[in-house]
Amino acid sequence: MLSTFDIGIDLGTANTLVYSKNKGIAVNEPSVVAIDTVSKNIVAVGTEAKEMIGKTPEKIVAVRPLKDGVIADFDVTTEMLKQIMKMASKKIGFAMRKPNVVVCIPSGSTSVERRAIQDAVRNAGAKKITLIEEPVAAAIGAGMPIDEPVANVVVDIGGGNTEVAIISFGGVVAFHSIKIGGDRLDDDIIQHVRKEYNVLIGERTAENVKMEIGFALIDHEEKFMDVRGRDLLTGLPKTIKLSSYEIRSAMKESLLHILEVIRATLEDSPAELSGDIVDRGVIITGGGALMNGMEAWLSSEIFVPVQLAPSPLESVAIGTGKALQYMSKIQVAVK
């Protein structure tokens, strides 16, 4: 059973979440750190740091220490985790002792990348660390019966990557991942606006465009959005009107890559599990799952039912927190 001091951490490219049995999601902060480049001190972490992106003086930079689901800057990740675990300790109450931590890892990560995550969490103040593969955690968090001999297909569309896994009897039967997620879709929008309008927009603006008028479905009711950016010809601020049709076109290639990965995983499914997949369908989690029309688009492309997880943004974190209950049944999946 989970003790009071067991916590689960979803160390994501876009957001870091901390889950505890008693408090549920105790912390949900963007994986962003603002650093003073002169003194090397941490200025802000999480939401406060994200607000600074693109708005800071030269000596302060807002960075994302994780890239494509793995640690890109070890020291900054460790400092970020320390701050996030401090936030969690205030809400959960493990200040007097080190917590046991279950932390998720991308299924395709190397032993070096896994060791880096372990070391960063240990340096941030964890006692015992257990690693669990992200799709398994997402499936547990979405309430799927992963310990039963039936096919559980989970598609986790995160900030840095998309992972697709078929899980049965506590283990990963088939798995594929791609380093394309929400961040790539944001970049697609930035590049489109730059190319078509000669206007430069920031990451946060692109993310807002994606959430407001980004559609996975080709056939949808057209929506428009006014966007402000910097005219690359005059250097002056400029407002342009974007259509949901052109945004869908800008994201088309990345969305097709995500679709290819889902198809490749389904093709690797053992014949005995294929019937389960037709009956039970696919569960989608992660921030990318919330895109307008994502369920309908995927369902029409792969010809099986597609459902949104109950809490798509929190599924992995909830799964890491609940994983210890399943540990004896998912030993294959935990490394």
Please check whether residue 215 is in contact with residue 292, taking contact to mean a CB–CB distance below 8 angstroms. yes
Domains 6-137+316-326 and 145-180+253-312 alike in fold: yes
Q: Report whether pLDDT(23) > 90.
A: no
What is the average pLDDT across 181-186?
95
Task: Tell whether the model's pLDDT for residue 332 goes beyond 50.
Answer: no
Query: Which residues sit in the known binding site for ATP?
Result: 13-15, 207-210, 287-290
- CATH number 3.90.1150.10 is the correct assignment for the domain at 145-180+253-312: no
User: Per the annotation, where are the binding residues?
Assistant: 13-15, 207-210, 287-290
pLDDT digits (tens, 9 = 90+) for 122-153: 998 888 898 998 899 999 999 998 888 899 99
pLDDT at 193 over 90: yes
- Which H or E run contains 95? none
CA–CA separation, 194 vs 299, rounded Å?
Answer: 32
The residue written with tokens 């963007």 in the block is 30
Rounded distance, CA 130 to CA 104, Å? 9
Which pLDDT score is estimated for 244?
97
| CA–CA separation, 73 and 94 (whole Å) | 27
Mean per-residue pLDDT, 312-327: 84
Which tens digit of pLDDT belongs to each residue from 254-264?
999 999 999 99
- Domain ranges in the chain are 6-137+316-326, 145-180+253-312, 182-250
* pLDDT surpassing 70 at residue 4: no
Q: Which CATH architecture has domain 6-137+316-326?
A: 2-Layer Sandwich (3.30)
The CATH T-level fold of domain 182-250 is: Actin; Chain A, domain 4 (3.90.640)
CB 141 within 8 A of CB 309: yes
Check residue 331 and give its pLDDT. Answer: 44
Q: Which long-range contacts (CB under 8 A, 24 or more apart) does 215-218 make?
A: 215/244, 215/247, 215/248, 215/291, 215/292, 215/293, 216/248, 216/255, 216/291, 216/292, 216/293, 216/294, 216/296, 216/297, 216/298, 217/248, 217/292, 217/293, 217/296, 217/297, 218/248, 218/297
